[in-house]
Structure 1
């Protein structure tokens, strides 16, 4: 017999985290726990207002669809009946964790990964700010190998130039979070290429994706807000060279692995990202991130306090999660 419990947890951010849509000082997550045979499987998700989610709506959805899980529904059944999104991510992740703990078979092996997970280097995010403040943050973290800069539109070239000067040896990717206009894409990407930027994430609002098919860009474009699960993936082909797979959008590890395989078959490069969350939220994504071109799972590094146990970081290198954390 499986028993479900759901709760809301809050974790403080180290400072303020700002993107083009606003700022936050805490991380609000929902945790689903499945208990059976004296062991507990856990999954964490981040309700995201951009997709019409809230703490209350996600918790209600988990309880609604979790009833079938308590009655014996498996992951395939959950994936077929529950909509993609944060709520399904929490349930799916908890199911993977519970299965691993009950069987003694780690998630990586059960998921069919070709080898045991290896350490990964994650991007480190620089929050949207003035050029001077972003440069100061870059200088404090100049030993990190990869920055992701949060951008917004006007003033972005100055922001990136300031960071490049402050950290000349650090690789750069940028994320506009839908903040650019179509007229910005070509000239901005040309200038950013000169500054050594390697990827531009979601330059335009998702509804304007069609414009990207006819815009020159020397830097690969990566779909984020436009990319969710396998349904609708075909609409991205020919507009983006990369896809950012986030489990809170795919609705869990089960769908994320399938989406990764579909994207690779279509010739797209893989980025694995996250909402701002704790180590528990990063652990399932770590499995998908094996072999990805870009890994962006730095959520725990941006928190003032993480879970215990948590990921072990050596600078920007993440060691594989322990079984006590997840999987």
Structure 2
């Protein structure tokens, strides 16, 4: 309700408009992302092209998206793994606790697909993290997200230097201002639209990280196909992706990017490439 765009004459002036939106209030990054995504969709429709074309990206040149297997009993883990077979080419495992090895061994009893792991800051000691990473590499793990507490950058930098696997920042990176200080600390960054205020800043983060020689990953929260489709416009040419958010919900209200052979493929519709599955109510100002 604080957003008033009546002072802007052209919705394609994204830099100017989103600078204003970002200044309205601190934080609230997901709310700002919703405005950003809506503006990108509108601008794309006015121009008549999907954003992946305007970015100059090949929408099929994308990494496989991971599919997340949550921490659970061995039986449930095996069942969830079997359900993913044939649809996904890489799985993502939540680790960082006492069940790490058990979880991976349970998955390995079902499949030899490559694995990505997200420790969610769970390993507190660098030596512990390094031992786990070497153990995991022998079992087909190919990348590690946020192995240690987000503020312990010195330990993470040493871990990255010694690690046989790439180490990606998640909680340690929120927005564009965080990227440059993480060079030499992490191998790469995980960009999420809901954390960085949307597509406009995500594109800047991607461009800066790659210019600094860092790897880039497109991530997500639990989101509808609206946000996943927006992310799918940006992620061609990235190194990793975790865009399964809309596949984990039962009430998706949009139709957009599609899972094809383990990859999220953007639509060619103008804008972010989504259509509502059903008519959404129009919010009333002040209601």
Same fold (TM over 0.5): yes
Unaligned runs of 5+ in 2: 274-287
Query: Which SS does the other structure have where 2:255 is aligned?
Result: coil
Query: Which SS does the other structure have where 1:254 is aligned?
Result: helix
Worse-superposed segment, 263-272 or 135-144? 135-144
**How many Å separate the matches in 2 of 1:101 and 1:187?**
51
Query: Is 1:96 equivalent to 2:40 in the alignment?
Result: yes
Query: Which SS does the other structure have where 1:288 is aligned?
Result: coil
**Which of these residues, 7, 12, 15, is aligned with residue 76 of structure 1?**
15
Unaligned runs of 5+ in 1: 1-62
- Aligned-residue offset at 1:324: 7.5
Residue of structure 1 in register with 2:82 after alignment: 139
Q: For 1:1-327, what aligned pairs fall within 5 Å after superposition? A: 63-64=1-2, 66-67=3-4, 69-72=5-8, 74-81=13-20, 82=22, 85-110=29-54, 113-118=55-60, 120=62, 121-143=64-86, 144-168=88-112, 170-183=113-126, 184-215=128-159, 216-314=162-260, 316-323=262-269, 326-327=272-273
Tell me the TM-score normalised to structure 2 length.
0.83
Query: In structure 2, do the counterparts of structure 1 residues 116 and 195 end up closer, same or farther at CA, with 3 Å as the change threshold?
Result: closer
CA RMSD of aligned residues (A): 2.1
Q: How many residues align?
A: 260
Deviations along 1:276-299, whole A, 9 cap, x unmatched?
101101111112211111111111
- 1:280–1:325 Cα contact (<8 Å) kept: no
Tell me the TM-score normalised to structure 1 length.
0.73
Query: In structure 2, do the counterparts of structure 1 residues 255 and 261 end up closer, same or farther at CA, with 3 Å as the change threshold?
Result: same
Detail structure 1 runs of 4+ shifted over 4 Å in the superposition. none
Which of 1 and 2 has higher RCO (CA within 8 Å, sep 6+)? Answer: 2
Query: In structure 2, do the counterparts of structure 1 residues 179 and 131 end up closer, same or farther at CA, with 3 Å as the change threshold?
Result: farther
